[in-house]
Structure 1
Amino acid sequence: MLPVKRRELVLPTHSSEKKLCVAFFDADNTLRETHSKKRSPHGRHDVLIYQHAADKLRALSEAGWLLVIVSNQAGIGLGYISEAEVEDAMQETITQFASCGAVFGYYDFAEKYDENRKPGTEMAWRLERKLHQVKRKIDWQQSFMVGDAAWKRGKDLQPDGAPGDDHSDSDRLFAANIALKHPGFAFFHPRDFFGRQKIL
């Protein structure tokens, strides 16, 4: 069973634990790219998932982890893409991964420049509140974020001292902001978490 709309929570079927490990993922250029070569897919037919990510996602899913997508989609507010297109693309993304055995139980996106937008943490706290309503908690020390917006070009240095080459640092700072409240919450770049990104 998958969420049928944004912010609908479906708990992992492989876990009855009261405390859940949560794996947060960015969407674009972390889990998927587009047929059109646009930044974000415009509707379900534009979605091209990273097949090489499926094995690791499936292993987490089978181990009872809650897989979550949190995505900045400011193009909605700016009029570049419709909310319906973003919603359709998210549904297609989780459906394609589910067909590989990787089940996402929740997704959210930030369409404005407000507290929801990463590196703001409201998307994480909203999920935490929803889990609290069903008497579940997040095991923050075991949980983590994976995203390609890590070390911003012209601003950040990567851990090895090399200049940053990412378009933004919002995913890494999202994780860092969560870690201020929950020490131990980790961040991974997709090239480290999944390996080299390519379409198989």
Structure 2
Amino acid sequence: MMKAVFLDRDGVINEVLTERVRFVNNPSQLYLLAGAAEGVRILCDKGYKVFVVTNQGGVGLGYMKEAVLKDIHRKMVEEIEKAGGKIEEVAYCAHSPHAGCECRKPGSLMITDLAERHGITIEESYMIGDRDVDIMAGKKAGTKTILVGSTDHGADMNFPSLLDAAKWIGGQQESR
């Protein structure tokens, strides 16, 4: 079995609610956060499979077409690959925020489905997010949880960025 890191997208990998971009509704609005691609590369180098699990209710609400969302994700994956990292798969919930589905975080279906399909040992894996729903989804799935940011949402660990979290996870691997 393999271990994995499940990453939220907005606020962990790319900018959102910044001066440059409010929401990412087309590929030209995707700006990777400083160190995010390097963080993914570090995780891959340490033997983790890296997945993205993201709520994208803008599709369900009609703000963006699913084809455009796929273009955004393709651009994100390509930019991370240029830095030597690899995203195995991007899972997203395109339902509207109040659809009541289990795939939308804080539901854990995106994580558990990916883990099952890819032979991931969930207890050896991490969910990294910047909001309470990310942490709740990780805990519900059975992963260790890491919050990126300063608000306390009950995560197991807290770091200012994906890069800092990846370096810590990498250091945990070296100490085993």
Instruction: Using structure 2 for the length normalisation, give the TM-score.
Output: 0.77
For residues 53 and 74 of structure 1, the distance between their equivalents in structure 2, rounded to whole angstroms, comes to: 23
The runs of 5 or more residues in structure 2 that have no matched partner are 150-158, 166-176
| Structure possessing the higher radius of gyration over alpha carbons | 1
Question: Would you say the 8 A contact 1:43–1:84 is kept in 2?
Answer: no
Question: Would you say the 8 A contact 2:53–2:91 is kept in 1?
Answer: yes
Instruction: Using structure 1 for the length normalisation, give the TM-score.
Output: 0.68
- Name the amino acid aligned to 1:194: L
Match of 2:144 in 1: 186
Match of 1:116 in 2: 103
The secondary structure found in structure 1 opposite 2:122 is coil
Task: Write 1 or 2 for the structure with the bigger share of helix.
Answer: 2
Question: Would you say the 8 A contact 2:8–2:128 is kept in 1?
Answer: yes
Equivalent residues, number: 148
For residues 140 and 125 of structure 1, the distance between their equivalents in structure 2, rounded to whole angstroms, comes to: 8
Question: Are residue 59 (structure 1) and residue 42 (structure 2) matched?
Answer: yes
The secondary structure found in structure 2 opposite 1:97 is helix
Question: Are residue 91 (structure 1) and residue 81 (structure 2) matched?
Answer: no
Displacement of 1:46 in angstroms is 1.5
Match of 1:37 in 2: 21
Q: Which deviates more, 45-54 or 115-124? A: 45-54
User: Residue by residue, what CA displacement relative to the aligned partner does 1:132-172 show, whole Å, maximum 9, x if unpaired?
Assistant: xxxxx2122220011111xxxxxxxxxxxxxxxxxxx2101
Question: Are residue 106 (structure 1) and residue 89 (structure 2) matched?
Answer: yes
Computed over aligned residues only, the root mean square deviation of the Cα atoms, in angstroms, reads: 1.9
The secondary structure found in structure 2 opposite 1:48 is coil
Identity among equivalent pairs (%): 24
Q: Which deviates more, 56-65 or 100-109? A: 56-65
For residues 111 and 173 of structure 1, the distance between their equivalents in structure 2, rounded to whole angstroms, comes to: 19
